[in-house]
Each structure stands twice: as structure tokens, then as C-alpha cells.
Amino acid sequence: MSVKNYTAEEEIIKIPRFEESAGFYTTKQRSKTMAKIRGKNSVPEMMLRKALWARNIRFRIHRKDLPGNPDLVIDKYRLAIFVDGDFWHGYDWAKRKPKSNLGFWIPKIERNMQRDRFVNRSLSDIGYTVMRFWEHDVKSNLPVCLNQIMLYIEAAKDHVIPAKE
């Protein structure tokens, strides 16, 4: 795995290891529950993919050669799309911080948010436009999310997208 080069202006947030020696204890039930959480092919992501495919928008999924492995990439228009989980990426973070196990979850979620900012900058630097949708927006307002993507594509058709470097 390649080393991420973060800028000096932002100190990397350290996350405590989730193990008994660090004071954390997990039951088998908790481990089983956490193992079911998907990082890829989540329900909101699949909803967005099916809706785009139905509109004849072709894309690649989980491109490993791009920073952050975007959920969807439309190369023709240099567009990277992420569907972010509300909890994992800190939706409404000021109001919705976890209530328990704060020593682990707060640095964990804040580190995810920091990584999202880094990935956005990295993709922008190589000429991609980044769109991020919250899972609750995709689930409850899929047409609005689709409209945003379609508007970008229509605008991009009129302009020349810079070629890959």
C-alpha cells in the first residue's frame, strides 16, 4: 500500500488501537455486528449506481488508482462520486457525536473527515471534480442527487474537460 503524503498544515489525527491492551473490550456479538458494515456496495451506493445506469451514464466503480478509491468514476467527464455514510463521515458532527466510547470514536470519525478533505484536494489537483453525497440524501432524495450529477454532465458536455496528464 502506498504512503499518503499529507500536508504539514494539518496534523494527522491518531486513532487508538481498538484492542484489549488499550482498554477496549469487544464481545463476539459486537464483532459480528461490526463485520457486517460494508465499505463497498452499500444500499445507497447501489441505488445511485442503478439510477445512473438506467440513464445510460457509464462509470467505473472503486477505482484503486485514484486517491480515496471513489465509489463511482465517470472518466469521460473527470467526475469522482462518493456516497458517504452519515455516521462514518461525520454528518452534522457538532450535534451527532457518539455518546459512548468517546476515546475511540471521536478521533476515528474526525480522522475520516480529515482524510475526506485530503482526498478531495488530491482529486482536484489531478483534474477531477468531486461530488460527495450523504447516505440519507441518496436514500430520501435520490432524484435530487441524480439531478446534480446530470447537471454537471450537461455542463461538462459544453466545455472541454482537460485530458489526463
Q: What is the pLDDT of residue 1?
A: 38
Q: Is the confidence at residue 163, as pLDDT, over 60?
A: no
Q: DSSP letter at 61?
A: E
Tell me how many domains the chain contains.
1
19 in any annotated domain: no
What are the Cα distances from residue 76, in Å, to 53, 63, 153, 163? 15, 14, 9, 9
* CATH code assigned at 149: 3.40.960.10
Residue 82 lies in a domain: yes
Give the pLDDT of residue 26: 67
Residue 145 lies inside a defined structural domain of this protein = yes
* DSSP secondary structure letter of residue 33: H
Q: Name which residue leads in pLDDT, 96 or 38.
A: 96
In a domain, 132, yes or no: yes
**Selected residue with higher pLDDT from 104 and 46:** 46
pLDDT tens digits, 56-112: 999 999 999 999 999 999 999 999 999 998 888 889 888 888 888 788 888 888 999
Q: Which residues contact 48 (CB under 8 A, 6 or more apart)?
A: 71, 72, 81, 83, 133, 138, 142, 145, 146
CA–CA gap between residue 74 and residue 25 (Å, rounded):
42
Domain assignment present for 99: yes
Which has more pLDDT, 105 or 5?
A: 105
Quote the domain boundaries for residue 109.
Answer: 39-158
Residue 14 domain-assigned (yes or no): no
